[in-house]
Amino acid sequence: MKSILSPEGRITRRKYLVLFMIFYFANLLCLLKIWDSFRTEDWIAFYIFGIILIASIVLLLIQAIRRLHDIGMDWKYALYLLIPPPINFIGFIWLAYKPGQKGPNKYGPDPKKTDWV
């Protein structure tokens, strides 16, 4: 089982969707807390949640790269996901529903045979 911190390898649609929901929900919570701490001028919370937001965005992009590998595409397409919402949300959802390549490809073995989720 590969680490969620590694962009190498492939990931199934189901595992991607679960991780996508976790990280996207974390992003929304962080944005709300950042907005609240900005209004109340709580700068420590503002910076802490800003760092957490950046980390969750990076983790979300790593999972998107692994999903692109499963589809047979290069990591560079993940840069399109940095476009502001709602355009990037459409891309993330597309990754959740696009079937991956069957069998091994140049990015690794079929994740359906190796992943337990």
CA distance 49 to 68: 28
pLDDT at residue 108 above 80? yes
φ, ψ of residue 115 to 5 degrees: the values are -90, 145
Domain boundaries, the chain: 13-107
Radius of gyration of the chain from its Cα atoms, rounded to whole angstroms: 16
pLDDT at residue 52 above 60? yes
pLDDT at residue 10 above 80? yes
Q: What is the reported pTM?
A: 0.86
pLDDT at residue 115 above 80? no
pLDDT at residue 117 above 60? no
Q: In the structure, what pLDDT confidence band is assigned to residue 1 with cuts at 50, 70 and 90?
A: low
